[in-house]
Structure 1
């Protein structure tokens, strides 16, 4: 049996990766800042040695848009090397090498750290999750109108499908940079907003807003998309139908 450590194992993605691996019969350790017995803040690394001791594979899902991912990755990589971990799987984002966003720049830096670590490694880049698009639209819908950046498309993907792919990669051995994983459809943001409004029974006017800056220009060019790798199956509408049909 393979022992696999999932960082960020209580988050939206990490929790599902953990579940998939356990269903497949793997021994899984969950690392997060509060989950016992492996409660570790990767930004300082305290307690990390015990968490990685005896681990064969690490699936690194922990991430924070507030910063510090590169610091956390440095601690994780050094601990993994000391423990003799054979395989590090990292989840990244389509466009991290093209879009001039601070969070993306750090994610690309972590990719390079993984590549240069001396460990066996696998990196999977995916498009944005349906869950993220839902959070954005839900937050915007708290206003009388829904302001959306004009001319931006999305190719969101189901988190459960990404978790399944990461679980496969974790047990398959180091594979380097694997093909990107995009959602099944490239959609205009207003289309997704209308689907959200139908699913939630809300009524809002959608207002396109033209923004400035290089990052916005990159989004308008579609540098966060991977239409040639539209391998996801679950559409945004199907995701919404499942999400909002759950008992309250």
Structure 2
């Protein structure tokens, strides 16, 4: 039996990883800012983090925040993992972090580099956006009378449960470095995805595609965040919406 620590283990992805690993009979520790006994703010580190990684074979690092702090969190986690003699650090990143000059993506790429230079055995998996993220985005945008979308931006969402399955599989294997990206089954226009969301949730909103400026927007329009050659996901956005809305 392997002892595994999952950071961000109460989040959208992390909790599913925890469920799968425990179902396989492994001892799993859940680290989050408010989840005892391993309630730790990774950005601050400290004795609580050292205790969380003590005796751990593998760390699955799912904790992240678009509001910043990922690099500090990674440095603290790496330091603690080295001291504890952790043999394997698994990290979930995002497809396109090296192609899209978007602040959050740059931070994720910086964390990848920290892990690669850590001296620890590591595995890095990049995935496209989860269905959940798009649903949250459209739900927020649909609060306005007109649903505004960035013009010309495609997407390739993937089912989070499938990513959790893959992460659990990687956590139980030997360190593999950067593995093949994982993307959803379809490259779709943002408008088509938004229309599916409106239809399934029973909302009526006109959609307006708005051209934006900047290098990040251009990179998204060009598909820098996509991996059509790695369309290994099975679940579609419509299937996700059907389950989410009890249909």
TM interval, shorter chain, is: over 0.9
Correspondence for 2:32: 32
Residues 41-91 of structure 1: per-residue CA shift (max 9 Å, x gap): 000003100000000000000000010100000000000000000000000
Correspondence for 2:159: 158
Alpha-carbon distance in 1 for matches of 2:183, 2:138: 20
Superposed, which structure 2 residues align to 1:47-62 within 5 Å? 47-62=48-63
Alpha-carbon distance in 1 for matches of 2:9, 2:79: 20
Correspondence for 1:13: 13
Correspondence for 2:118: 117
Correspondence for 2:224: 223
Correspondence for 1:173: 174
Alpha-carbon distance in 2 for matches of 1:172, 1:140: 41
Correspondence for 1:134: 135
Correspondence for 1:240: 241
**Normalising to structure 2: TM-score of the pair?**
0.99
Alpha-carbon distance in 1 for matches of 2:221, 2:121: 36
Gaps of 5+ in 2: none
CA shift for structure 1 position 137? 0.4
Correspondence for 1:82: 83
CA shift for structure 1 position 102? 1.0
Alpha-carbon distance in 1 for matches of 2:202, 2:221: 29
Instruction: Please state whether the residue corresponding to 2:63 is helix, strand or coil.
Output: coil
Alpha-carbon distance in 1 for matches of 2:196, 2:226: 20
CA shift for structure 1 position 242? 0.5
Alpha-carbon distance in 1 for matches of 2:196, 2:103: 30
**Normalising to structure 1: TM-score of the pair?**
0.98
Would you say how many aligned residue pairs link Structure 1 and Structure 2? 246
Instruction: Please state whether the residue corresponding to 2:59 is helix, strand or coil.
Output: strand
Correspondence for 1:106: 107
Alpha-carbon distance in 2 for matches of 1:187, 1:99: 18
Alpha-carbon distance in 2 for matches of 1:25, 1:198: 41
